[in-house]
A and B are shown apart, each in its own frame.
Chain A
Amino acid sequence: MSEVHAETVPFVRDTMLPSAAPPARQSGVVLWLRENLFSGPLNILLTLAGLAAVWGIVSHLWPWFAHAVWNASSIGECRQIIAERHGEGTTGACFAIIRERWNQFIFGFYPAEHYWRPTAVFGLMMFAVAPILFSESRRLRWTVLAVSAVTSFAACVALGAPDRVLLAVGAGFVALAALIEYAPRRALAFSVLYPFLAVWMLWGGSIWSPIAVLAGFALALVVWRLGARLGVGLLGLALGVAAAVWWWAALGPRVAADLQGLMPLALVPVESRSFGGFLLALTIGVSGIVMSLPLGIILALARQSNLPVVRTLAVMFIEFIRGVPLITLLFVASILLNYFLPPGTNFDIILRVIIMVTLFAAAYMAEVIRGGLAALPRGQYEGADSLGLTYWQAQRLIILPQALKISIPGIVGTFIGVFKDTTLVTFVGLFDPLKQMADTIRATFAWKGAYWEPYVFTGAIFFILCFAMSRYAMYLERRLKTDHR
């Protein structure tokens, strides 16, 4: 005001303006169309070209979907029906293959009388993750839980689970719901135990085996804590790991066998080779996703460490894994490991694949998270340090929450990549839903030549799951937005 208007008459405001409502937003469909699609000659041209392209694609694909046949027992019958209805030579999808063989797309060669097991495992998974993923929004949490509990229970019924199983599953869902509602912190214990329960239900066998494995982790934890109390930090950790390995290798299996003798509690065992379809993709994908995040965080921190040895090892690991195609790692898992392991050891193929997928994803995850760490201003580290927080406290309370928040898009991108990459297990002879499973079905006489339909179906399911992940990421980013920039 001062310099520019120096020569004008002095001005003094004697009444202050009251605050006014903001102007109403201009809206309306026509206005929107004009502004966004037809604002100038070039824009009009592009809009028309776009419309033409969309029309071209839709008009070609539409008949194929519109003529779809859902009820038929073979591809030949499908073609006949389409020819009868729409005339000789028209195209049409034969989704009857999905209707007839959906069970194999979903469960592979999992024994049909046990289909309820993966189904219940899926329902329980939602109870394990919902308290974590939707910790803030009660409504969202219960919507997700209700939908997944009801569908998976209904599916168990439809899949012919025995009555006592239905009773157990139903009671389990209700008990978990109550736990999540009334003791949310306790419910996290179920999230921790869930992987062991899931492994037992999927692969079957004695319940004491997963319990023995769990006991090994507990042993490691106890030794580590004791070490920490005695002030021998890292040594305690090493001793804990050693104790756990000793337990798993030597004592654990014997104890498990004895307990099974005393108190038999077992499910019919299912071979890894009979896993297939989306059951296989989800088993590998979810395990890889859940384990790669913590491993990636540790690698990212190691890469920033002040200790040269730790840093170098992390860099070597990350660069090596990223430099090699996943398929190579899978081949190593399936073939090479056999040469190195002592003969006669039974190292499950799915477990091997999960390990490789986890390592692969963790290397990418580490780089994504490193980006988030680098984006934090140095002042955050200094603020935390100046208050006397220890390194791990600072990481856990100050640095990682912010770095991970920044990295959400990259992390979820990696998750989505991991999930889609599970289809590569086709190269080690596992029945992934996209290729191996579809090929197996196509190899039967009835469905020879049903080419596109399985791809469209599998693609659609992959899309739904990946899209859900990406929507969740957007939700999470909004929820964690506190900077008000």
Chain B
Amino acid sequence: MTDLNTQPRPAPAMGSEIAVRIEKLNKWYGSFHVLRDIDLTVRRGERIVIAGPSGSGKSTLIRCINQLEEHQSGRITVDGIELTNDIKNIDKIRSEVGMVFQHFNLFPHLTVLENCTLAPIWVRKIPRREAEETAMHFLREVRIPDQAHKYPGQLSGGQQQRVAIARSLCMKPKIMLFDEPTSALDPEMIKEVLDTMIELAEGGMTMICVTHEMGFAQAVAHRVIFMDQGQIVEENTPQEFFNNPKSDRTKLFLSQILGH
């Protein structure tokens, strides 16, 4: 477990507007029922941590939110727009929802700066100069402005993940999705990435994070969601979730990841 400043933060301004609403979401891979009747509402400014054993469907769930995976039944509404099969609609939502992946998924043929300016220039149609200024701003935020002209292959894992975060932020997203952003990193680098995410949280970003970093969950989450076998098993504040878990599955899971 990484050593973080884990005091609960003052509850930030969480709006009453709804950022993401998921209703009766079901998804199958072939005949395998991977998501079962998921209901979840995320308000603007809210920060959610999703935890659960491997294969429980966490990645699949957050990938449905920006339609990297399509669902077969149920409704997903993001930022007031319902996700349908319409490609334009999906591209629109993806440009408003940032995503950070376990394996960074930076573009190795482009420099760090180009990685960050690509989508603003082509999707948002922002002039190159302005896009570069924004990119440098966010690269400073994640504390790697001096790496702007290097290629991703020349950076450490932690630096790459921070570039990936900056790349998403350059699109000024309304919601950020994180899929185990630290689990491909060495312990030393985990902290630098989590610090970046904590700063982002303090800025009031709506965040949905799949992570096993329980220190992080305690520090920033408003709600922790525990999934198992494609279902939401428990949903609670971090204090309650860690100190007073209700379901046996949660207890077992917590004992496994905390208790070694």
Q: Chain A residues in contact with chain B, CB under 8 A?
A: 377, 379-380, 382-391, 393, 397-398, 401-402, 405, 480, 482-485
A276 to B241 Cα, complex, angstroms: 83
13 A-B pairs (CB sep. < 8 Å):
A382-B101, A382-B105, A386-B68, A386-B97, A386-B99, A386-B105, A387-B119, A388-B92, A389-B91, A390-B87, A402-B109, A482-B109, A483-B108
CB of B95 within 8 A of CB of A388, answer yes
Q: Is the CB of A380 within 8 A of B107?
A: yes
A139 to B101, CA, bound (A): 41
Closest B residue by C-beta to A405 = B109
> Does B108 lie within 8 Å of A402, measured CB to CB?
yes
Q: Which residues of B contact A390 (CB under 8 A)?
A: 87, 91
Query: Which B residues are in CB contact (< 8 Å) with A387?
Result: 94-95, 118-119, 123, 167-168, 171
Q: At the interface, yes or no: B154 with Cβ under 8 Å from chain A?
A: yes
Chain A residues lying within 8 Å of B99, measured Cβ to Cβ, are 382, 386
CA distance A383 to B101 in the complex (A): 8
Closest to B91 in A: A388
B57 part of interface (Cβ distance < 8 Å): no
Contact between A380 and B105 (Cβ–Cβ < 8 Å)? yes
New contact pairs (15) apart from A387-B167, A402-B107, CB-CB < 8 Å: A379-B101, A386-B66, A386-B97, A387-B94, A387-B119, A387-B123, A388-B171, A389-B91, A389-B122, A390-B91, A393-B122, A393-B123, A398-B107, A405-B109, A484-B153
**Which of A385, A391, A402, A484 is in CB contact (< 8 Å) with B68?**
A385
Residues of B within 8 A of A401 (CB): 109
Measured between beta carbons, the chain B residues less than 8 angstroms from A483 are 108-109, 151, 153
Residues facing A in B58-117 (CB within 8 A) are: 66, 68, 87, 91-99, 101, 103-109
Across the interface, do B107 and A485 meet the contact criterion of CB distance under 8 Å?
A: no
Complex Cα gap A384–B91 (Å): 11
Give B161 Cβ to nearest chain A Cβ, in Å: 13
Chain A positions within 8 Å of B106 at CB level: 383
Q: Chain B residues near A384 (CB, 8 Å)?
A: 107
Checking B87, B103, B109 against A480 with a beta-carbon cut-off of 8 angstroms, the contacting residue is: B109
Q: Determine the distance from Cα of A389 to Cα of B109 in the docked complex, in whole angstroms.
A: 17
Across the interface, which residues of A come within 8 angstroms of B66, CB to CB? Answer: 385-386
Closest to A387 in B: B119
Q: What is the minimal beta-carbon distance from A272 to any residue of chain B, in angstroms?
A: 42
Distance of A482 Cα from B135 Cα, bound (Å): 21
A-contact 0/1 string along B194-230, CB 8 Å cutoff: 0000000000000000000000000000000000000
Which residue of chain B lies nearest to A396 when distances are taken between CB atoms in the complex? Answer: B122
Partner of A386, one of B87, B94, B103, B108: B94
A residues within 8 A CB of B109?
401-402, 405, 480, 482-483
Question: Judging by beta carbons under 8 Å apart, are B105 and A388 in contact?
Answer: no
Rounded to whole angstroms, the CA-CA distance of A391 and B90 in the bound complex is 11
What is the CA–CA distance of A382 and B122 in the complex, to the nearest angstrom? 17
Assembly CA distance A187 to B228 (angstroms): 61
Query: Cβ of A485 and Cβ of B94 under 8 Å apart?
Result: no
Q: Mark B117-130, 1 if CB is under 8 A from A, else 0.
A: 01100110000000
User: Closest CB of chain B to A477's CB: distance in Å?
Assistant: 13
A383-B94 CB under 8 A given contacts A388-B123, A389-B122, A484-B151 = no
Residues on the A chain within 8 Å of B122, using CB: 389, 393, 397
In the complex, which of the residues A382, A389, A398 contacts B123, with contact meaning CB atoms closer than 8 Å?
A: A389
Chain B residues closer than 8 Å to A388, beta-carbon distance:
91-96, 119, 123, 171
Nearest Cβ on chain A to B15's Cβ, whole angstroms: 23
Q: Nearest Cβ in chain B — how far from A52, in angstroms?
A: 47
Residues of A within 8 A of B91 (CB): 388-390
Whether B68 lies near A482 (C-beta < 8 A) is no
Once the chains are docked, how many angstroms separate the CA of A480 from the CA of B110? Answer: 10
Which are the 6 A-B pairs with shortest beta-carbon distances? A388-B95, A383-B105, A387-B119, A379-B105, A388-B94, A484-B153
- Expressed in whole angstroms, the minimum distance between the Cβ of A106 and any Cβ of chain B is 41
B93 contacts across to A, CB distance below 8 A: 388
Considering the chains assembled together, what is the distance between the CA atoms of A85 and B101 in angstroms?
79
Q: Name the A residues within 8 Å of B96 (CB-CB).
A: 388
Collect the chain B residues with CB atoms within 8 Å of residue A391's CB: 87
User: Quick check: B101 and A482 within 8 Å, CB to CB?
Assistant: no
Chain A neighbourhood of B118, CB < 8 A: 387, 389, 397-398
B105 touches A389 (CB 8 A): no
